[in-house]
Amino acid sequence: MKNWFRNIGPGPLVAAAFIGPGTVTVCTLAGVNFGYALLWAMVLSVLATIVLQEMAARLGIISQKGLSQVISEEIKNPVLRGLAIGLMLSAIVVGNAAYEAGNISGGALGLETLIGHPTIHLYGLDISVIPWILSSLAFVLLYIGKYKVLERVLVGLVILMSLAFLSTALLTKPNILDVLQNMVIPKFPEESILTIVALIGTTVVPYNLFLHASLAKTKWKTSSDIGLARKDTVLAVVLGGVVSMCIIISAAAIKTESIANAADLAKGLEPLFGINAKFFLSLGLFAAGITSAITAPLAAAYVATGCLGWDTNLKSSRFRAVWMFILVLGVIFSSIGFKSIEIIKFAQVANGLLLPIIAGFLLWVMNKASVLGTHRNSKIQNLFGLIILVITIFLGLKGILSVFKLI
């Protein structure tokens, strides 16, 4: 165990990135509406995420390049390369800017459930204080620009988040046999298909592939480190899956339609299971929000600098300019409650297009001996990759069609 902690890598940062307020909300609604019935969908999500993230980490270690840089170099046709870069910048940079307000607001919601809602009145607006505190913490951590510091803080927050949601789930005293049964036997309750897709879609996310490749090349430098990277990825993603399942289990303890998010769930659990349930769940929501508020700007900076050929060093001025832009927009929008529906819809369409394209590109490049040599995909890895590619195409279509209200 001591050796694993010494060799811990970017895996927990990836887990921190996909367990944000959006994931917490989706898992909450899944538990409230369908009980334990959709736990199998989280198991499927975890397996798919492990396969894709392992490929991204292996690519980063062997090529010593970020995913966006590899895409820019390997797509030779200038028109296709321009389209790919434009799509990446739109989906990741614009998308993360649109979602950052939700990350900060989600973390603030967790704290506000515990300590209240302090505001200041400025220029006719009631501005919430807590989002500014959270964003300041994120700013300082990112500005320090040291990978080891970033890694240790986020690992600590992931552990905090895991313990918080696990404690909440245990307080509800779930039926373990029912939980295990629903983890392995797929069920499709009436009107559950969109929730199933949402559970998978909130776990298998495109920006994590870019983040993982970039962080893996920073952490590890030789092919002998691939084994460590795989263990790191599997353990972290499984831990993330367990956290998500704990949220579903906690939410299943309440059968009411008045639960719309994790903050409502925290208040709803308190009368049934005591103040500890509210405390742990709110603490978990805070950790989920602050970790995603850090990793979203970080991923956007890696993508933008990789696409544009800029220095990807954490301390470079251009790298800092990108994450500062994302973070500042997020905190301003979360403080005043501004929601640009059109920007969010644009980001959803871009991400819907990007996910299957990146999964397909990743599968293609992972078979190129010129890039990976003897570390290219095996037949079994390609088989799993193709299955997941089909899933990502479905997820992408669902995301795009939902924006236009076609499903």
**Structure confidence by residue, pLDDT tens digits, 354-386:** 788 888 889 999 998 888 989 999 999 999 999
Is the CB of residue 14 less than 8 Å from the CB of residue 235? no
Residue-level pLDDT at 73: 87
Radius of gyration of the CA atoms of the chain, in A: 20
DSSP 253: T
**Local confidence band at 86 (pLDDT 50, 70, 90 cut-offs):** confident
Mean pLDDT of 243-252: 91
- pLDDT at res. 342: 64
User: How many angstroms separate the CA atoms of 74 and 185, rounded?
Assistant: 41
Q: What's the pLDDT score for residue 111?
A: 81
For 284-299, the pLDDT digits (tens) are: 888 888 998 999 999 9
Question: At 233, which helix (H) or strand (E)?
Answer: helix 226-252
Asked if the model's pLDDT at residue 8 lies above 90, the reply is no
Give the residue-averaged pLDDT of 272-293. 82
C-beta separation of 330 from 104 below 8 A? yes
Return the structure tokens found at 111.
């704290």
Q: How far apart are the first and last CA of the chain?
A: 47
Distances from the Cα of 183 to the Cα of 23, 47, 152, 236, 406, angstroms: 18, 12, 31, 19, 31
Contact yes or no for 197/57 (Cβ under 8 A): no
Read off φ and ψ for residue 127, nearest 5 degrees. Answer: -105, 125
> By three-state DSSP, how is residue 128 classified?
strand
Contact 89, 299 (CB under 8 A): no
- Strands 125-128 and 119-122, sheet pairing: antiparallel
For residue 207, give the nearest of 406, 16, 405, 27 by alpha carbon. Answer: 16
Is residue 200 within 8 A of residue 48, CB to CB? The reply is yes
Among candidate residues 36, 27, 35, 42, the one with its CA nearest the CA of residue 256: 35
Do residues 132 and 118 lie in contact, with contact meaning Cβ atoms separated by under 8 Å?
Answer: no
Query: What was the pLDDT predicted at 245?
Result: 95
Cα 81 from Cα 71, distance rounded (Å): 8
DSSP sequence for 353-377: HHHHHHHHHHHHHTT-HHHHGGGS-
CA distance 249 to 170: 9
Give the Å distances, CA to CA, from 82 to 79, 138, 354, 355: 5, 32, 14, 17
Kindly indicate the confidence band of residue 241, based on its pLDDT and cuts at 50, 70 and 90. very high
State how far the Cα of 286 lies from the Cα of 284, in Å rounded to an integer: 5
Triad 297, 311, 322: Cα angle to 5°: 25
CB within 8 A of 251, min separation 6: which ones?
27, 28, 29, 30, 31, 32, 259, 265
Query: Residue 11 and residue 103: Cα distance in Å, rounded?
Result: 20
Grade residue 145 by pLDDT with cuts at 50, 70 and 90.
confident
The token pair that represents 402 in the structure block: 């939902």
Q: What is the largest CA-CA distance in the chain?
A: 63
pTM over 0.85: yes
How far apart CA 288 and CA 113 sit, in angstroms, is: 14
